[in-house]
């Protein structure tokens, strides 16, 4: 008897609790992927995510084929598709992993109820988190709103996870009625603006394992300080792999467990903790994908975004070099270094006073690691509207940030070629330097919004808000 293994954001064969559950049931695992972006509501996957998913699904299919099976791809209504597959094959069960995006979570609950009623075994497992969002709670059994106590509680309740190798062989099934071709799902951008991505990334389970191996060997030992340096490859680059479930977070922790020094390793695992926290917050406060966590900011005087200014931010032409470098890195590779994400987000929400929605949406479309939990948390945190807010209203100074974290202007020079000809020390704020020192070509000679003015505007808008 077949058991459907419904692949979603868990595109791997190792450490796959749903696949393991199917194998344990004694039934024959039937790997299925259903393309149903219309079921993800206002946050259907963006273009860069789709481009990644296309390649990750192809990699999963290849891995399945090397074991005698393959990925059966469908497009349409998820519930109807699962029911039709069960009817066509006699499948008695469906196994999958939970997702915590509010819309998907609701859909899945309804699917599970209906499948149960139809006599199928329908089981959702944890496949993506170290902790289920409800496994960590305050003493009063409430959700956490601040990271540090969340992480302390999490460390004290560390769950056991099982590591499994991929099954060496899996049964084959005939082509099923209604199957679609991966190439026909329209996941690849047209025109192909993503081609540059694939110099930087290799989607799929092997790509994830290689990224972890490289990080463990070359960068982990310097992670604590190195993670803030956008000019050096000192972070793991695992975010898209984790988002698509090409590697389980507990595998990451296990593989690093024996690597010294321990304090660097703990610093890294703590960042994985932010990912856990983001999912905890999304689960308990699902409205925050669209609404401020802190309602005090509902009256904040956001500026009506001027289309030219917004476009300048999106495509890296604001005249603030570190901001432009970040936004061009995004366009070119589908990813931005975390430190620079904070700087570009702060510039948009504080200096330009544009609502964080605009930034979150752009990231959502362009990031290969676009993740509703992490993106929402990141934007609300920088905007000052979210959980774990700083006690004061932080306005990052992009010039000071650049001088501190990209001291030689190497990151800026990499992504803003117009500034390669100016002395390194001048790249952080080229408007402060006489033009004679270097030709900046058509690069904006001044920031679109003066930094001091922008900062004042944000602080004034804050002062106009009613206290809580």
Q: Which residues bind ligand FAD (CB under 6 A)?
A: 227, 235-239, 242-243, 271-272, 274-275, 278, 338, 341-342, 345, 363, 367, 369-371, 374-375, 377-379, 382
The C-alpha atoms of residue 238 and residue 248 are separated, in whole angstroms, by: 11
Catalytic residue, from 96, 364, 379, 415: name it: 379
Cβ nearer to ligand FAD, comparing 157 with 200:
200
Helix (H) or strand (E) holding 330: helix 321-333
Which of residues 66 and 214 has its CB atom nearest to ligand FAD in the complex?
214
Q: Is 49 assigned a ligand-binding role in the annotation?
A: no
> Is 302 part of the annotated catalytic residue set?
yes
Smallest gap from residue 290 Cβ to ligand FAD (A): 15
Nearest approach, Cβ of 55 to ligand FAD (angstroms)? 18
Residue labelled with tokens 């329209």: 186
Instruction: Please confirm, yes or no, whether 134 is among the known catalytic residues.
Output: no
Measure the N-to-C terminal CA separation of the chain; round to a whole number of Å.
Answer: 60
In contact, 266 and 239? CB cutoff 8 Å = no
Among 274, 313, 362, 381, the one annotated catalytic: 274
Nearer CB in complex with ligand FAD: 230/321: 230
Q: Residues 356, 362, 364, 381: which is the catalytic one? A: 356
Q: What is the DSSP string of 118-163?
A: TT-EEEEE--S-SS-TTS---TTS----SHHHHHHHHHHTPPP---
Q: What is the DSSP string of 337-380?
A: -HHHHHHHHHIIIIIS---HHHHHHHHHHH-TT--HHHHHHHHH
Question: Is 210 a known ligand-binding residue?
Answer: no
324 is in an annotated binding site: no
Which single residue brings its beta carbon nearest to ligand FAD? Answer: 378
Residue 22: count of CB within 10 angstroms of its CB: 25
Asked if 356 is an active-site residue, the reply is: yes
Catalytic residue among 164, 198, 255, 338: 338
| Segment (H or E) for 78 | helix 78-89
Cβ closest to ligand FAD, residue 320 vs residue 382: 382
Tell me the C-alpha distance between 139 and 131, whole Å.
Answer: 17
Least separation in angstroms between CB 265 and ligand FAD: 12
The answer to whether the peptide bond before residue 33 is cis (omega within 30 degrees of 0) is: no
Backbone region of residue 420 per phi and psi (left: phi > 0; alpha: psi in -120 to 50; beta: other values):
alpha
The answer to the question of whether 51 is labelled as a binding residue is: no
Q: Nearest approach, Cβ of 73 to ligand FAD (angstroms)?
A: 25
- DSSP secondary structure of 97-113: E----HHHHHHHHHHHH
Is 268 labelled a binding residue? Answer: yes
Instruction: Based on the residue annotation, tell me whether 379 is a catalytic residue of this protein.
Output: yes
Question: Could you say which DSSP state residue 31 is in?
Answer: E
Contacts of 464 (CB under 8 A, 6+ apart): 301
223 is in an annotated binding site: yes
Based on CB atoms, which residue is closest to ligand FAD, 238 or 451? Answer: 238
Closest to ligand FAD by CB, 67 vs 284, is 284
Single out the residue of 234, 237, 236, 230 nearest to residue 408, CA to CA.
230
Set 40, 164, 302, 431: catalytic member: 302
Kindly name the residue from 132, 255, 271, 431 that is annotated as catalytic: 271
Q: How far is the CB of 403 from ligand FAD (least distance, A)?
A: 20
Min dist CB 312 to ligand FAD, Å, is: 18
- Residue numbers in the known binding site for FAD are 223, 235-239, 268, 369-371
The catalytic residue positions are 271, 274, 302, 338, 356, 379
- Residue numbers in the known binding site are 223, 235-239, 268, 369-371
């Amino acid at each position: 008897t077949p058991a459907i293994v419904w692949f979603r954001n868990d595109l791997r064969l190792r450490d796959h609790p749903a696949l393991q559950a199917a194998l344990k049931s004694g039934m024959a695992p039937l790997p299925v992927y259903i393309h149903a972006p219309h079921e993800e509501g206002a946050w259907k996957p963006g273009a860069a995510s789709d481009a990644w998913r296309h390649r990750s699904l192809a990699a999963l299919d290849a891995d399945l084929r090397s074991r005698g099976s393959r990925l059966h791809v469908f497009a349409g209504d998820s519930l109807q598709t699962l029911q039709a597959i069960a009817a066509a094959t006699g499948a008695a069960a469906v196994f999958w992993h939970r997702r915590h995006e509010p819309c998907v979570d609701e859909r899945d609950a309804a699917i599970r109820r209906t499948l149960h009623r139809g006599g199928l075994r329908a089981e959702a497992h944890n496949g993506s988190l170290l902790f289920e969002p409800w496994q960590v709670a305050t003493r009063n059994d409430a959700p956490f709103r601040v990271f540090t106590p969340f992480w302390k509680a999490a460390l004290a309740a560390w769950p056991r996870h099982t590591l499994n190798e991929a099954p060496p062989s899996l049964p084959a099934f005939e082509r099923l009625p209604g199957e679609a071709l991966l190439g026909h799902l329209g996941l690849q951008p047209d025109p192909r603006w993503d081609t540059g991505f694939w110099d930087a990334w290799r989607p799929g389970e092997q790509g994830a394992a290689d990224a972890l191996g490289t990080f463990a060997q070359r960068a982990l030992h310097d992670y604590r300080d190195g993670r803030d340096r956008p000019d050096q490859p000192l972070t793991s680059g695992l975010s898209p792999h984790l988002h698509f479930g090409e590697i389980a977070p507990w595998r990451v922790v296990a593989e690093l467990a024996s690597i010294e020094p321990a304090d660097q390793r703990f610093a890294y695992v703590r960042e994985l903790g932010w990912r856990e926290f983001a999912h905890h917050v999304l689960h308990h406060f699902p409205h925050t994908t669209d609404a401020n966590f802190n309602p005090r900011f509902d009256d904040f005087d956001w500026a009506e975004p001027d289309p030219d200014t917004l476009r300048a931010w999106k495509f890296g032409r604001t005249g603030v070099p570190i901001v432009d470098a970040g936004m061009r890195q995004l366009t070119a590779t589908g990813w931005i270094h975390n430190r620079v994400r904070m700087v570009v987000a702060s510039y948009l929400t504080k200096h330009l006073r544009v609502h964080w929605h605009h930034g979150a949406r752009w990231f959502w479309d362009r990031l290969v690691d676009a993740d509703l939990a992490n993106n929402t948390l990141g934007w609300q945190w920088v905007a000052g509207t979210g959980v774990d807010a700083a006690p004061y209203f932080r306005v990052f100074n992009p010039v000071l940030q650049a001088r501190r974290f990209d001291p030689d202007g190497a990151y800026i020079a990499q992504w803003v070629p117009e500034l390669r000809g100016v002395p390194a020390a001048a790249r952080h704020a080229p408007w402060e330097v006489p033009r004679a020192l270097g030709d900046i070509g058509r690069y904006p000679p001044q920031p679109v919004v003066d930094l001091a003015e922008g900062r004042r505007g944000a602080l004034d808008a804050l002062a106009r808000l009613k206290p809580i």
